[in-house]
Amino acid sequence: MDDLPINLAPLLEAGPAVQIHALSAIGAVVVGAVVFGRRKGTKMHRLLGRIWVVLMLVTALSSFLISEFPMFLGFGPIHILSVVTLAGLYRAIKAARAGHIEAHNRGMVMLYFQALFLAGAFTFLPGRRMHAMFLAELSPFGMVVAGLCAVTLISGLAWLLIANYPRGKRAS
């Protein structure tokens, strides 16, 4: 494992709640990207969407078992995002079931970016586990380059998804 470009030790040494949380979040990023890239309304879209929702539920719920930066009764500011994520999942699913596909689309796109990319970006701050895994060995210049690449990638993905995501259409 010494020749890997990342240091897996911070994740492997973490407790099961952190490992489950990280793996489900990574899975949600990947499955979500596939769902957004495929035709909407098909059986495959619904199947992958259900898998994504389960991954998001596991990610949000497992966060309540992690209290690395507690501020009140073992909970921190990031747990507010978990509550918002759970509520957002409920609203987006309810919208789809009611046939409000545009609201469903908007809700899922917002969840993808807020709950996965925005919250995920905070995990790369110094002192956090993902920083130790991916960025700790970089020089200050390398950190700046990595940060600029991340901002560019996330901005590009956001623009592509929001600009090109079909509005209110259901595949037959």
**pLDDT for position 139:** 65
**pLDDT for position 137:** 73
**pLDDT for position 172:** 45
Cα 117 versus chain centre, distance = 5
Please report, for the chain, the start and end positions of each structural domain, with discontinuous segments joined by +.
14-164
pTM, two decimal places? 0.76
Query: Does residue 63 contact residue 78 with C-beta atoms inside 8 Å?
Result: yes
pLDDT beneath 50, residues of the chain: 1, 171-172
**pLDDT for position 75:** 72
122: CB partners within 8 A, 6+ apart: 78, 128
Q: Concatenated DSSP letters for 41-97?
A: TSHHHHHHHHHHHHHHHHHHHHHTT--SS-SBTTB-THHHHHHHHHHHHHHHHHHHH
